Amino acid sequence: NAGVTQTPKFRVLKTGQSMTLLCAQDMNHEYMYWYRQDPGMGLRLIHYSVGEGTTAKGEVPDGYNVSRLKKQNFLLGLESAAPSQTSVYFCASTTSGSYNEQFFGPGTRLTVL
Amino acid sequence: AQTVTQSQPEMSVQEAETVTLSCTYDTSESDYYLFWYKQPPSRQMILVIRQEAYKQQNATENRFSVNFQKAAKSFSLKISDSQLGDAAMYFCASGAGDDMRFGAGTRLTVKP
């Protein structure tokens, strides 16, 4: 059981470049989340999904897009990276809703120059 | 919308002593849950304890317990018999519906 995995672990982008972060879970969880973690600000919810084929906006969705084509995968895309998107990105999954324990991936450190 | 506030950016405790981390929250939801997550230097987020808002009894997990004051919207974490392995960032979080909000975190240092 790998739990929640994230690819890649580190990435450096130039302003304007695009990239996709992949999150995969093998726990058959319905709900998946993408957060960003910045110093002094905790974790902020970017987008989430309540099931295959569904996505919804969180607290800070601007500049990001997501897709959930398969239940086990949740992709986070940056179409045109900006320095303000330099952050550590965490993916999480849970069985149902925000009432239950969330299982987190190891994080992706993204630097945008 | 929900908000979660942790007013202590840093705390320190002597090994074997007790420390309390503070958290206040605000929500318009009647059905919500509260959490404390731990993030050690490895960066891996781990659930410490979970409290259902409709339960008056404070949750406990071994050396970890909470003081849940619903009227005051306060949710503090008490760590008893602190160990070196407790050193980490601690995040308070509130979950209602599909929404999840985290506080800014408290960095706990444990002194040997």
- Which pLDDT tens digits describe chain A residue by residue (113 residues)? 789 999 999 999 999 999 999 999 999 999 999 999 998 889 999 999 999 999 999 999 999 999 999 999 999 999 999 999 999 999 999 998 888 899 999 999 999 99
Kindly identify which residue of chain A lies nearest to residue B104, measuring between CA atoms.
Answer: A42
User: How many Cβ atoms from other residues are within 10 Å of residue A63's Cβ?
Assistant: 14
Using a CB-CB cut-off of 8 Å, the residues of chain B touching A33 are 100
Please list the ranges in chain B whose pLDDT falls under 70.
none
> Regarding beta strands B106-111 and B19-21, do their DSSP bridges make them parallel or antiparallel, or are they unpaired?
unpaired
DSSP-derived secondary structure letter, B54: T
Q: Return the pLDDT at A22.
A: 97
Write down the residue that tokens 């908000």 correspond to: B3
In whole angstroms, give the CA distance from residue B112 to residue B97: 42
Q: Return the pLDDT at A40.
A: 84
Out of B4, B6, B98, the one facing A56 most closely (by C-beta) is: B98
Q: Return the pLDDT at A107.
A: 96
User: Residue B80 in 3-state DSSP?
Assistant: coil
The C-alpha of B17 sits at a distance from chain A's nearest C-alpha, in angstroms, of 26
CB spacing of B104 vs A40 below 8 angstroms? yes
Nearest alpha carbon to residue B110 among B90, B78, B84: B84
CB spacing of B43 vs A106 below 8 angstroms? yes
Kindly identify which residue of chain A lies nearest to residue B2, measuring between CA atoms.
Answer: A59
Q: Return the pLDDT at B98.
A: 83
Interface contact B30, partner A, CB < 8 A: no
| Each residue's pLDDT tens digit, A51-69 | 999 999 999 999 999 999 9
Instruction: Give the number of A-B residue pairs with CB atoms closer than 8 Å.
Output: 56
Kindly identify which residue of chain B lies nearest to residue A30, measuring between CA atoms.
Answer: B98
The C-alpha of A7 sits at a distance from chain B's nearest C-alpha, in angstroms, of 15
| Each residue's pLDDT tens digit, A31-41 | 999 999 998 88
In whole angstroms, give the CA distance from residue A111 to residue B48: 30
Q: How far is CA A104 from CA B28, B43, B61, in A?
A: 27, 10, 20
The C-alpha of B31 sits at a distance from chain A's nearest C-alpha, in angstroms, of 9
Nearest alpha carbon to residue B98 among B33, B16, B40: B33
- Taking the alpha carbons at both ends of chain A, their separation in whole angstroms is 36
Q: Kindly write down the DSSP assignment for every residue of A47-84, as one continuous string.
A: EEESSTT--EE-SS-TT-EEE-SSTTEEEEEESS--GG
Q: Return the pLDDT at A98.
A: 81
Interface contact A1, partner B, CB < 8 A: no
Q: Return the pLDDT at B2.
A: 87
